[in-house]
Amino acid sequence: MTIKDFIPSKYTHQIQQGKVTYKAPSNIALVKYWGKKADQIPANPSISFTLDACATTTTISYSKMNAKSNDFSFELLFDGEPKDDFRPKIEIFFSRIEPYLPFLKEFYLKIETSNSFPHSSGIASSASGMAALALGLMHIEKEINPAITDEHFNRKASFLARLGSGSACRSVEGDLIQWGSHNGTEGSSDLYAIKYPYAVHKVFQKYHDTILLVDKGQKQVSSTIGHKLMHNHPFAEQRFDQAHENLSKLKSILASGNLNDFIRIVESEALTLHAMMMTSIPYFILMKPNTLEIINRIWAFRASSGTHLCFTLDAGANVHVLYPENEKEVVYQFIKDELVAFCEKGQYICDRIGFGAKKV
């Protein structure tokens, strides 16, 4: 598919108003996306677990205006309060997606959004937020063009969400989602994410992700800047090749359920992501001392207990502890006994692999 396939040819129905609510989850990458080309095209393919508990719920109330306006007409409420500092991001998003949703300037949109996870927890809400918004907009498009298939609906929602925040395209469906062209993955695309199309061992069903909130403050360096620093990065090309190789290697690991090999790739990906930050120019560090303390304790506990917990990181100091369902009691006990002490105000979130966004 090309971007032209996302430009609607004509709308068949007229609507005046309506209301729709979508709840979209966050996701955690196993192979990381870090570095992008123009128009939110990823520099390398990535794969993620869709989460379940960490989610954004967005309601769009839409009403047709008498005439098409020159600007986007919308109001934005976050937890019931007007949120003007989010407006510029939404304006940019709308201008990027307008070619694909030409009805946008014909409607007044009231957008009400809230997150399930604590405000300023250091967990990015851009993935779940942009996915929920894109799905709501796709609902409007389907009202005026009911011929849209479910497959096209999800694919276009992912395509639109990507234009809001890259990793958001992996938050439409579940449970294992791949984004970015990869030779070994049939149907993969830079334009949208797909459900991982190959066999996945049952050990990965109900996988747990306990998110340890190490630092809830604002990050010193945003993802947008971090992605940009991959241009002219001394190790960029090797890193992009490595992501392709890791995805290829994961194919047999995901099929066989070999957790030791899974851990080696997932932890290496997390540390490589942060190594890219530390070796870009200018360089920066998002991990905190407690991030390293937690990693060391995970390694020590894994060696002594023979369990298969591992960690991954996103672009911040928080640690995602991943572990299989059949080890949940012993690992969760360890987390409470040894790791929670390193979280800011002892805060953490128990999440697990989920199955994608839902209309509420």
**CA–CA gap between residue 285 and residue 279 (Å, rounded):** 10
Of 54, 101, 315, 322, the one binding ligand PMV (CB under 6 A) is 315
Min. distance of Cβ 122 from ligand PMV in angstroms? 12
Cis peptide before 175 (omega within 30 of 0): yes
Min. distance of Cβ 126 from ligand PMV in angstroms? 5
Of 58, 116, 126, 246, the one binding ligand PMV (CB under 6 A) is 126
Structure tokens at 171: 């938050």
Q: CB 185: neighbour CB atoms within 10 A?
A: 21
Q: Which is nearer to ligand PMV, 42 or 324 (CB)?
A: 42
Min. distance of Cβ 273 from ligand PMV in angstroms? 6
Q: Which is nearer to ligand PMV, 57 or 167 (CB)?
A: 167
Of 26, 44, 46, 128, the one binding ligand PMV (CB under 6 A) is 46
List CB contacts of 236: < 8 A, sequence separation 6 or more: 35, 43, 230, 276
**CA–CA gap between residue 319 and residue 311 (Å, rounded):** 6
Q: Is residue 185 close enough to count as binding ligand PMV by CB under 6 A? A: no
Q: Is residue 267 close enough to count as binding ligand PMV by CB under 6 A? A: no
Of 129, 166, 324, 356, the one binding ligand PMV (CB under 6 A) is 166
Cβ-count burial of 218 within 10 angstroms (0-12 exposed, 13-18 middle, 19+ buried)? exposed
Residue 24 three-state SS: strand
**CA–CA gap between residue 199 and residue 84 (Å, rounded):** 45
Q: Which is nearer to ligand PMV, 194 or 273 (CB)?
A: 273
Dihedral pair phi/psi, residue 259, rounded to 5°: -70, -30
Q: Is residue 164 close enough to count as binding ligand PMV by CB under 6 A? A: no
Q: Is residue 34 close enough to count as binding ligand PMV by CB under 6 A? A: yes
| Site for ligand PMV, residues 215 to 244, rule: CB under 6 A | 223, 227
Of 215, 314, 344, 351, the one binding ligand PMV (CB under 6 A) is 314
Of 6, 20, 32, 144, the one binding ligand PMV (CB under 6 A) is 32
Q: Which is nearer to ligand PMV, 29 or 254 (CB)?
A: 29
Q: CB 288: neighbour CB atoms within 10 A?
A: 18
- HSE toward the beta carbon, residue 184, CA cutoff 13 A: 16
Residue 261 three-state SS: helix
- HSE toward the beta carbon, residue 108, CA cutoff 13 A: 8
Pair 317, 287: CB distance under 8 Å: yes
Q: Is residue 125 close enough to count as binding ligand PMV by CB under 6 A? A: no
| Site for ligand PMV, residues 67 to 106, rule: CB under 6 A | none
Of 6, 23, 25, 29, the one binding ligand PMV (CB under 6 A) is 29
Chain contacts with ligand PMV (rule: CB under 6 A) = 29, 32-34, 46, 124, 126, 165-167, 223, 227, 273, 314-315
